[in-house]
Structure 1
Amino acid sequence: MKTQTAKEIADNLYTGVVSRFGCPRVLLSDRGQPFMSKIVKAMCEILQVTQHHTTSYHPNTNGTVERQNHTLAQSLRTYCNDTHDKWPSLIPGIMMAFRRSVCATTGFSPFYMLFGQEMKIPFDIALEPKDSLPQDTRVYIDQFLSNIKMSHKIALQNEAAQKEKDKVRHDQTARVRTFAIGDLVLLKVHKFPKGQSRKLCDKATGPYRIEEIGPNYTYGIRRISDHKKQASLVNATNLQPYIRPDPTRQRLSQEDQNIPPDPDSDSDSDPEVDQDDEVTPNVDVEATQQPTPTPQQTPDPATRYQIQKVLRGRRKHGRREMYIKWLDGSCTWEPDTCFDQEMSDFINSRWTKQGKRRKSYFN
């Protein structure tokens, strides 16, 4: 397609798909403007085709097409000339090779899945002997239908087995966040203003509030600043939790910790008074103690987890693990997921992702 307008896409869907293979049940596409147009929507309503759209900036939903485009680009890059002006003529030959190639998931080629027999290429036709004997039509049709049914049955079994293997491999490293209605999140930024460096721009914007939970880890969000709702559902991979700034969590400066004693306080002026002894209720003492409360020290994360030191680190199945020596003397390998965010930040400030020491850790 040259222009990729809505009219051109609708014409190609009718001439290239509907007229050759019939009306599809479902049309899955991205959220591009031509596919969201009224022309394509009206054509789908007339042909009774259910139209589905992928979530923004999450091409995994249409992974089969994305993977095929990647394979096509690799093939064109291999056979294309230096001037890059003859690549359209290479597409038919590359697609012919793809249609004849056996799929690792189904165990059959796309051509065999559609026509019930393997594609004949010019080389096969030259070597195949001439058969002048007539063939019974009914036997041929029965064999043709039998091949299609058998190939579809075996393909479904192979596809189910391959999906199970892919799921096990994906779950080893997958970490998909889940949110509840009312949670505050930040939205990952994919478009940056022209003339500004991507490295210096904010990686996320917000905060947003979760208002809707969709299928397959998608969420409907609304911006808090102007109460504007996001047009489409957003996948969880483009969201991250938003933590409200809490002044009580900020560490006190050295000047705030060294507060000078109140000269009007009788208890501070008397050196013989033990600070650990209980003070009897006194109006003057209470009045002097109220403006200067004792700051509460935040416990060290390592002390809270009873960790003596981190000996070394490693990566296993895509996750980082730390070899931790506990206060009781025992040593175990622990993944990052067993610690809360505060402890993880505490380790990250002293250890790299490869487990190398940044500086002296604990003692």
Structure 2
Amino acid sequence: MVGAGKTTAEQRARQLEDSDIKPVLEAKEEGKKPVKERTNTMSRYSRHYLLLWDQLKVADGVLVKEFVKRDGLGTYGLVIVPEKVKGEILQSMHGGLLAGHMGTKKTKAKILQRWGCPVSILSDQGRTYESKVFQELCRLLGVKKVRTSVRNPRCNGQVERFNRTLVRMIRAYLQGVQEDWDLNLGCLAGAYRATPNEVTKLTPNLLTMGREERLPAELVFGSTTNKSEVPVTSYGDYVDGIRSKMNHAHDIAMKHLQKSAARSHDIYDKRMLVNNYEKGDLVFS
């Protein structure tokens, strides 16, 4: 999301300061598109935003434009940027530390890209994440650093679950030998990414890249994993093939996730003890 390095409060304040964006933001919050008599008094930029009325949404008080992802799986929002901020964004995306001074087309594509530096990082208050090096890195990359509550691992439950899995893998692999265990993390993480998830039934590799990684055993014994029935004759064919595979994989994963959620809901309902009380019944207070 463009401009996501700022807090939503700061983004909203900047939009309300912009004479072109403010009337459109207020109209979307009211849920009423301005009538023609009202739009005639607006700037041409405001009228342009109104042409996008159905694509505009208000998220956390900030006006955004929704785009359909190129793979067709869902949408993402880009902040409507005030005029005085555009120069700052273009400078960071063109002449910043990680920008590379690319041309117009490549810079535009970079601004529009849902793959790159994270908007924010949620972590515990460990020394690694509180170090000056990490803080400076976040500052350079425009990443917002968020801390979990003290002694509350559930605040970052997804990471904690992954850590438990990774620790089990380390223990099983090292078999009690603790020296240089960190040197094996890359290989163990690769093994995790090549293993089907219990819920989605698919590997992280397939869901992220649209293909499976070639495993060492396949190099030794041979495999047909990466062979395609349809010959690839151009870069476009390759990209279309990857996109098709990812769409199919995401559809399958979504179905499995829905089934898992429904199963968890049924289990929860069965465990719930519901008491129907009548007037005059004795209860503990």
Structure-1-length-normalised TM-score: 0.37
More strand as a share of residues: 1
The structure whose Rg is larger is: 1
Structure-2-length-normalised TM-score: 0.46
More helix as a share of residues: 2
